[in-house]
Amino acid sequence: MIPISILDLAPIREGGDAGQAFDLMREQAKLADRMGYTRYWLAEHHNMSGIGSAATSVLIGHVAEATDRIRVGSGGIMLPNHAPLVIAEQFGTLESLYPGRIDLGLGRAPGTDQRTARALRRTLGGSPEDFPRDVMEVQHYFKEPEESRAVRAVPGAGLRVPIWLLGSSMFSAQLAAHLGLPYAFASHFAPDFLMHALDEYRLRFEPSEYLDRPYAMAAMNVVAADTEEEAEYLFTSQQVASTNMMRGKREPFGPPIPDINQYWQAHEIPAVENKLNYSFVGSADSVQTQVGRFLRQTEADELITTVRIFDPEACHRSLEILAEVAQALEPALTFK
């Protein structure tokens, strides 16, 4: 079966709060664990009233404690917001608590606006070389401890926490290839460079102590329901949220609406539809066709999906359908 994972933003729903979001996230992760999903990742965002995953490492522990098998990690930690030693210590702690189940996905975007990034970092000074250097510093802290090493990650040193690089452009694809690391592309919201980045990553990949061949993950949005009409209705929540982001509004995640065309304006439609290009919406048969096409296009080793649906029960149903779709896709993977 093609590995399929979940990317969660701990959405804070209209009328709810962060505590409710974390309870729902935990229940969804337990369901994903039982259904055989491969990973449950959380993404770092800041100053967004509809996203609760700011303290990403804390929530990873919250999910890992409630699950038994599924890998739990970051998709990702925005490394420029943090000192590499702090991240190594946090994920060393998580790995020590939940051995063999923790992933560290790293990105170089701020996960917020520039004003909030300044509040996080105190300064926005830096250079293009900072991110590669910081990634290698994190790797260094996870290596076997040496007596001569003045600064160690405790816990962290000697723990093989898998590091992934995440991106939406060519930069991280090239860096992941150079360092021999697995790579995940954020095509669920930034589709334009997906194929170019995957090609670059595979072409330039250098085997390493971590990975002997390229391993690429592609992200998508899936809204699956028992009927096409229901899925399209549920998807309007995400369409509204994306439209609001373009308008500079950071509202809590809202319920679906009867007609999206009554909400967005004509000039907004192309940009929102492009952003959500890799969104697969429909019944089981329709989603199977769409996801199968995406797999053939990307030849991804693994897929990761968002589950941004307002009604928690509808979220669960979408995950159930997608798990069934993944089983049915197995014969179609001969192209690999």
Q: Is the pLDDT of residue 335 over 50?
A: no
In contact, 109 and 137? CB cutoff 8 Å: no
Q: Tokens 């995957």 — which residue? A: 198
How many residues are given for the chain? 336
- Is the pTM higher than 0.85? The answer reads yes
What is the rounded distance in angstroms from the CA atom of residue 291 to the CA atom of residue 205?
26
Q: Decide if pLDDT at 34 tops 90.
A: yes
Query: Between 26 and 49, whose confidence is greater?
Result: 26
- Band (102; pLDDT cuts 50, 70, 90): very high
C-alpha 243 chain-centroid distance: 20
Cα 191 to chain centroid, rounded: 14
Averaged pLDDT of the chain: 92
**pLDDT confidence tier of residue 33, bands split at 50, 70 and 90:** very high
| Segment (H or E) for 288 | helix 284-298
- What percentage of the chain exceeds 70 in pLDDT? 94
Pairing of strands 4-8, 39-42: parallel
Q: Which pLDDT score is estimated for 331?
A: 41
**For 126-160, how does the pLDDT look when each residue is reduced to its tens digit (9 = 90+)?**
665 789 999 999 999 999 887 777 889 899 999 98
Per-residue confidence (pLDDT) for residue 332, from 0 to 100: 41
How confident is the model at residue 186, as a pLDDT? 96
Q: Angle CA(219)–CA(223)–CA(227) in degrees, nearest 5?
A: 150
Percent of the chain with pLDDT over 90: 82
pLDDT in tens, 271-313: 999 999 999 999 999 999 999 999 999 999 999 999 999 999 9
The fold for domain 4-335 equals: TIM Barrel (3.20.20)
Contact of 252 with 12, CB cutoff 8 Å: yes
**In whole angstroms, how far apart are CA 157 and each of 33, 70, 78, 91, 309?**
29, 24, 21, 11, 39
pLDDT at 148: 73
